[in-house]
Amino acid sequence: MKMLVVYQKLGSHRFLGHLDLQRAMQRALRRSGLPVCYSQGFNPHLLLSFAAPLPVGIQGEREIMELPLGEPVTENDFLRRLNAALPEGLKTLQARLLSDDTAPAMARLEAAVYTIVPREEAPGLLAAVPGFMAQTSIPYLKKTKSAERMDDLRPLIYNLLVKQGALHAVLAINERGTARPDQLLVSLAAFAGVASPRCAVTRAALLDGRMAPLENL
């Protein structure tokens, strides 16, 4: 059996890199005394997987991780014991026991929902959204560790709306491609002819192929 866990990463913990987050979760799980599992071999490590690493500087409201369990534990007991061991800024919200043959969250992931709030007035940026989304192609420079090439951002933007002065975006995050909020902002600002504003970014949810929350199996 394994446990699917929904957790938050808020406040100053948004600056925690993925490896540091992984270590923090592993430490908390060990302190909790929960029946976690370890890898085999000379240097065993706690088995834990995340649906999608959260970029540094972005808050996560409903992030997903999964871990196998060595023995049964109730979902409520799991949440209570792990939350007691987590530092402020990290909190588990939901736990769900799954069978081992349930497809991993990472394999079911299709998209992510982001709320992007400009830290300064940005009327030109927000007003440009309808025209920006009407484009059939949005070229952008894609950088990898080994090369740079032009790619098309438009198929990776599933939805983009303006609500109460904020951008609400549904962006692809799957094996076919991933769109990041910073790429979206740079491209939107270039289209609007304005400087890209500083923004507070929150990943509000992870979605599966049905565009339903990833935790809703």
Pairing of strands 2-9, 90-98: antiparallel
Do the Cβ atoms of 51 and 109 come closer than 8 Å? yes
Name the nearest CA neighbour of 115 among 170, 178, 153, 197.
170
Do the Cβ atoms of 213 and 149 come closer than 8 Å? no
Phi, psi dihedrals of residue 20, rounded to the nearest 5°: -65, -40
Q: What is the pLDDT of residue 36?
A: 94
Annotation: CATH topology of 2-102: Alpha-Beta Plaits (3.30.70)
Which pTM does this prediction carry?
0.93
Phi-psi region of 177 (alpha: psi -120 to 50; beta: other; left: phi over 0): left
Q: What is the pLDDT of residue 42?
A: 83
Q: What is the 3-state secondary structure (H, E, C) of 56-125?
A: CCCEEEEEEEEEEECCCCCHHHHHHHHHHHCCCCEEEEEEEEECCCCCCHHHHEEEEEEEEEECCCCHHH
Q: What does the radius of gyration of the chain's CA atoms come to, in whole angstroms?
A: 19
Q: What pLDDT, in 10s, does the model give residues 20-32?
A: 999 999 999 999 9
* Helix, coil or strand: residue 80: helix
Q: Which residue has the tokens 């192929």?
A: 209
Assigned token pair, 62: 């409903």
Domain ranges of the chain: 2-102, 108-208
Q: What pLDDT, in 10s, does the model give residues 132-179?
A: 999 999 998 887 778 888 899 999 999 999 999 999 999 999 998 999
Pairing of strands 59-68, 166-174: unpaired
